[in-house]
Amino acid sequence: MESVKNPWATSENYTAEYGREFVLKIDEADVNKVRSRQKNPLRELRLHVPPEPWCGPIESASVFVLSGNPRWNAADEGMPELAHQLMIDNLTGTRPMIWLDPEVEAVSGSNWYRTRLLNRVIEIVPQEKVARNLCQVDYYGYRSEKWDSSLRFPSQAYSFDRIRNAMKRNAVLVITMAWRQWLEAIPELGSYPKAFRNSSWENKTISETNTKFSALKEPAQGFASVIDALEKCAN
Whether the full predicted model's pTM is greater than 0.85, yes or no, is yes
- Per-residue pLDDT reduced to its tens digit, 10-48: 999 999 888 789 999 999 999 999 989 888 889 999 999
pLDDT digits (tens, 9 = 90+) for 87-140: 999 999 999 999 999 999 888 889 999 999 999 999 999 999 999 999 999 999
Are 233 and 62 in contact by the 8 Å Cβ rule? The answer is yes
Whether 48 and 78 have beta carbons less than 8 Å apart is answered as no
List the Cα angle 141/123/164 in 5-degree steps: 35
Share of the chain above pLDDT 90, in %: 77
Instruction: Tell me the per-residue pLDDT of 64-79, one tens digit each, with 9 for 90 and over.
Output: 999 999 998 877 777 7
pLDDT at 75: 74
Top pLDDT among 232 and 84 is at: 232
125's CB contacts (< 8 A; 6+ apart) are: 227, 230, 231
pLDDT at 202: 85
Alpha-helical segments (H) within 9-118: 28-37, 81-90, 108-112
Closest CA to 55 of 126, 115, 120, 141: 141
Output the pLDDT for position 2. Answer: 55
- 147: confidence class by pLDDT, cuts 50, 70, 90: very high
Q: What share of the chain is helix, strand, coil (3-state, %, to 5)?
A: 40, 15, 45
pLDDT digits (tens, 9 = 90+) for 149-184: 999 999 999 999 999 999 999 999 999 999 999 999
Decide if pLDDT at 1 tops 60. Answer: no
pLDDT digits (tens, 9 = 90+) for 181-225: 999 999 999 999 999 999 888 899 999 999 999 988 888 899 999
Asked if residues 113 and 100 have their Cβ atoms less than 8 Å apart, the reply is: yes
